[in-house]
Structure 1
Amino acid sequence: MTVNSKRAFTLLELLVVIAIIGILAALLLPAVNS
């Protein structure tokens, strides 16, 4: 496993985490507003 592929996998994980946080925020915002 090269450093490049490991870095790419880390970037992919970062994108997945950001997507999950965005979805959670979208679900929580209406609950907070109401």
Structure 2
Amino acid sequence: MDTTIPVLGVGAVIALAMGFNYTNGFHDAANAIATS
């Protein structure tokens, strides 16, 4: 039961990041990461 909370937290962060990338343009985010 101790491992379920961190996994859900990571999943929530990933989902939030995916939504953020989707709203701002996934390709723009990918280019920013690739060029940094």
After TM superposition, is the score higher than 0.5? yes
Q: Compute the TM-score of the two structures, normalised by the length of structure 1.
A: 0.66
Runs of 4+ in 1 over 6 A off after TM superposition: none
Sequence identity (%): 11
Return the structure number with greater relative CO, CA threshold 8 A, min gap 6: 2
Give the superposed CA RMSD. Answer: 1.8
Which structure has the larger Rg over C-alpha atoms?
Answer: 1
**Count of residue pairs the alignment pairs up:** 27
User: Which structure carries more helix by proportion?
Assistant: 1
Q: Structure 1: where are the runs of 5+ without partners?
A: none
Q: TM-score, normalised by structure 2?
A: 0.63
